[in-house]
Amino acid sequence: MFWPFSGSILRKLARRRFSRARVRAVSAAIAEKGYWEERYEWRINTETEARIEPVRFLGRQFFQVSVKCDQEFLCRCPTIARAVEFLGVYEELAMATFEQLGWPSWASRTRLEP
């Protein structure tokens, strides 16, 4: 059975937005404010909210990643660098799913209402 995300596709998505500078910026914001957050418009009237914040999970320190734009992607990572890696995947997926499938809130790819 073919799995559409086999090979290096997800690694490429993660690396598309990953940089050491971004890891440093996220680290600095968490040290200063307790979280890192970014909101950006990537098409007319389409805003994405991305956030990384420290959380306790199963008795350990993790960094929770969330990306919201009509859908929400969420995970917890053990390091900031890993959180930034998944942040990049989720940001790319939010845009790709819209472009290829439409919004999840739509009835279908070509119809808003059921």
DSSP string, 82-98: HHHHHHHHHHHHHHHHH
pTM: 0.82
What is the rounded CA–CA span in Å between residue 31 and residue 92?
26
Q: According to CATH, what is the number of the domain 10-100?
A: 3.30.720
pLDDT value at position 36? Answer: 98
Domain boundaries, the chain: 10-100
Backbone angles phi, psi at 74, to 5 degrees: -145, 140
Query: pLDDT band for position 39 (50/70/90)?
Result: very high
Percent share of the chain, pLDDT over 70: 86
Question: Per-residue confidence at 2, pLDDT binned at 50, 70, 90?
Answer: very low
Tokens of 19: 């940089």
Question: Among 12-26, 35-49, 59-73, whose mean pLDDT is lowest?
Answer: 12-26
